[in-house]
Amino acid sequence: MTSKIRRGLSAAWPICLGYFPIGLSLGVLAQKGGLAPWQMAAMSILVFAGGSQFIAVAMIGIGASPLAIISTTFMVNLRHLLMSSALSVHFPGVSRRFLALFAYGLTDESFAVNMTRFNQGEWHRYSALTLNHAANTTWIVSTVAGVYLGQLVPPGAAGVDFALTGMFICLLVFQLRGPVFTITALIAAASALLTYLWLPGNAYVIVASCLAATIGLILKRLLWKQGRIHE
């Protein structure tokens, strides 16, 4: 048990490193928008979703209606539906209680790391849960710290702004396990860029991922039928 927790913690560090400056800057914005430390803590504990928290802080600041804030949050975080579906194959027959707790910590970053580790094998669900909660704790601490002392931290110190992008690039490389995966990733990048430029919000993640995975699947089936690749 202890070793599973330790493995989860040691896999979490790039996420924590990336979350810290983002959390601090959210805290600074929240403080400028009139949020108290306890309100920042409540938001980070109850919502725990970086992008939508930035949007919510801005919307609260300009006095947007609660309904507008809630529906925006829903749209922004809907992409987790796909990640949750993709992760589900790694939890056959696991108790509902565990899954309910695990799902709380599902973010883009924890999804990417957990999915990679599960695919590599020997990744226990308690390591995955530990990773989620290490990321969550970092997020809560850094956002609240941002409300208190965010102004003191220089922006862009030592390239930390690139930590999450660097992590995503490496995790993407781990995912490329054959030509179909590479083609899918290329289609996803191109269509994400196009939809990012044409559609507002971050609908581009869902639209591009679904489109790319569908084309990738069709391609895989066609190649398989022609006997070009073997499973």
Partner 1 sequence: MSNRDFLLLMLAMGAVTYLPRMLPLVVLSRRALPTWFAEWLELIPAAILSALIAPTLFAHPDPRLFTLGKIELLAALPTLICALKTRSLAGTVIVGMLCYWGLGAMR
48-77 residues in contact with partner 1 (CB under 8 A) are 48-49, 52, 56, 60, 66, 69-71, 73-74, 77
Contact in structure between 72 and 52 (CB atoms under 8 Å)? yes
Nearest distance in Å: CB 128, partner 1:
11
Q: Which stretch binds partner 1 (CB under 8 A): 1-9, 24-32, 138-146, 176-184?
A: 176-184
Candidate segments 1-9, 22-30, 88-96, 139-147, binder of partner 1 by CB under 8 A: 88-96
Residue 53 in contact with residue 43, Cβ under 8 Å?
Answer: yes
> Smallest distance from the beta carbon of 216 to partner 1, in angstroms?
5
| CA distances (Å), origin 25, targets 12, 13, 117 | 20, 19, 30
Contacts within 8 Å (CB) and 24+ apart, 208-211: 209/79, 209/82, 210/82, 211/187
Binder among 121, 159, 225, 226 for partner 1 (CB under 8 A)? 159
**Distance (Å) of CA 118 to CA 59, 91, 181, 184, 208:** 37, 10, 17, 20, 24
According to the binding rule CB under 8 A, does residue 151 interact with partner 1? no
- Min CB(122)–partner 1 separation in Å: 16
The residue from 12, 28, 129, 208 that contacts partner 1 (CB under 8 A) is 208
The structure tokens listed for 160 are 């930390």
201 is a contact residue toward partner 1 (CB under 8 A): no
**Stretch touching partner 1 by CB under 8 A, among 19-27, 133-141, 145-153, 189-197:** 189-197
How far is residue 207's CA from residue 89's CA, in Å, rounded to a whole number?
22
